[in-house]
Structure 1
């Protein structure tokens, strides 16, 4: 019986399917054991120091955020999670701070579209929800999503844009928060116009 493997499986079960080198070493297991299990196709390396069990159904949303702790689900992906879009996204939208190197992620996940946000706005509206597989993920709140849409209207799919804006205002808008965000994004007047028409 492989006691080390059983301990690693227990760690993964407690950690939502993931296990880190640090956790393994805290149990007194040498990190070379991890390489052995990767070579045996029992573990898959997600990034340096982070692994998941092979053959398990991994939560892609969690894996993406574990690969880049700064990446926040945004735009169409966040709208889908908030029920402001009924379209299952073909691409996964994530926002990272300006200057973040995501080249390795882009290579491994061509279905992810990265957006870059300046330091002044990156943190605005970060919240949490559960992924379809039950993992805890970080995404932008409804008001931040709306600000991103309005600010980048010319680059948006118009059907997605129109549905999200209409649905947001018909599902109980938090106008106070939206205006506060809008002020920071420099789109307060545009938001007031939408509020007059749709509220």
Structure 2
């Protein structure tokens, strides 16, 4: 297996790892306001998250700065909670206008924080190679694929719930975002740093 394949698989597994479900929750919170017909918007959304994630992965791996993992582990569920709470607060606006553009900024900015959460581990795996660009690129492509898998499954479930159980979009946003916010609160309590 080539280095590229190894890091591609590592990136995919990172986002799909059920034991590190914080990333899955964040992607679901971001996607909760979209419908299956919005797949292009969702693709842009996960790409914005990947870009943010990639920036901090690269900066930490290149020793531009270091991060305190205790803070980052607390901030990750905070970003999940903020995204879910905003969905709940603005769910009516999502139905009448395209308020979802704000989610692109959430994805990009909060992706920076989520990237820090895995950066020290990735830095240890990459080591002191002269060039880490190929490994970072492969990892982030794998990350993107993992997110597309999550979003596709989530959008299919949302479509089926709407079609066969007649759950309204407003109720779907409220139910999913409330569940994600509740889990995020639990994670914040578990990872509090004080």
Name the TM-score, length of structure 1 as normaliser.
0.25
Higher strand share: 1
Higher helix share: 2
User: Which entry has the higher C-alpha Rg, 1 or 2?
Assistant: 1
